[in-house]
Amino acid sequence: MQRILVTGGAGFIGSHLCKRLLDEGNEVLCLDNFSTGSRRNIRPFLAHPNFGLITHDITVPISLEVDRIYHLASPASPVRYQHQPVMTVRTNVQGSLTALDLARATGATILQASTSEIYGDPEVHPQTESYWGRVNPIGPRSCYDEGKRCAETLFFDYRRQYGIPIKVARIFNTYGPHMEADDGRVVSNFIVQALAGDDITLYGDGSQTRSFCYVADMVEGLVKLMATPESFTGPVNLGNPHEVTMRELAASIIRLTGSRSRLTFLPLPQDDPKRRCPDIALAKRELGWEPRIPFEEGLAATIAHFKKEGRD
């Protein structure tokens, strides 16, 4: 048994990670201030003898004894991080400093949940870890993009200056149960609109692409990365290399929900990437990892989650 801290543990990916770590027999501490996480996501664990909830803002220093830290605390949906951009930067920068100082004090290995957004609107396709990205430093998405880029800088500087063991995962679009209906992510948006029979909103002409990884596969990748030798730090891309256009995604969701929704089109938001797809050769080689869940199987499970949420 290890004592593992998951910051942002009540969030979408964080709550699935907490369950996985508990199922493996670990003691899990979930730290969250619930600015974007949900108590509903962790309610099934509250009575578990190896689960502890710490209601705390990660930007404020904290003292704990832990063996490993998964640092996931950050707003992740465009709607939420653009609504509170200063808080988003503060969480990613000061929150990372707090987590890193804790790792330094305890000797814990710490994993940073970074993002594909560090590549911005990429000129290289698919994106490899060696690509430095094309990010607008002063645009409406910069609070998240540059916040995550600075967090990566801090992780590697702590590694160089203090020798702490770090892991950095660059997470591409992830979907599955526990997504919030109003988080502004494309999968949840389309499902909610389709279930309500509303028009499905696409931006631009709908030809822009994303690659979607089911949350169980993503959690598997994070756990495998944490288990690698200390010499392997990453960054490593975690995502599904299968590209899907927004039109294709909408068509799949309409079919799986049996909806009669129609497509409507709005202008493309500023700095919205036209293509996004990971090169996962490094993850395959170093982690022995690649996504396993077929896209439509994952979509069906996600749709079932939203249907259940609508009934509860």
Please give the Cα distance from 215 to 240 (Å, whole number).
11
- Domain residues for 24? 3-175+214-241+277-292
In a domain, 299, yes or no: no
Gap between the Cα atoms of 267 and 304, Å rounded = 30
C-beta separation of 90 from 150 below 8 A: no
In this structure, are residues 112 and 151 in contact, taking their beta carbons and an 8 Å threshold?
A: yes
Specify the pairing of strand 68-71 against strand 174-175: unpaired
In a domain, 25, yes or no: yes
Candidate from 13-27, 79-93, 163-177 with smallest mean pLDDT: 79-93
CATH number of the domain within which 158 lies: 3.40.50.720
Q: What is the pLDDT of the chain when averaged over all its residues?
A: 94
In a domain, 283, yes or no: yes
Residues noted as catalytic = 144
Residue 267 lies in a domain: no
Does 237 fall in a domain? Answer: yes
Q: In terms of Cα–Cα distance, which of 312, 243, 238, 257 is closest to 17?
A: 238
Is the pLDDT at 167 greater than 90? The verdict is yes
221, part of any domain: yes
**pLDDT tens per residue across span 103-142:** 999 999 999 999 999 999 899 999 999 999 999 999 999 9
* Count of domains forming the chain: 1
Domain-embedded: residue 254:
no
pTM above 0.85, yes or no: yes
Task: Give the C-alpha separation, 120 to 226, whole Å.
Answer: 26
The per-residue pLDDT for 310 is 66
In-domain check, residue 155: yes
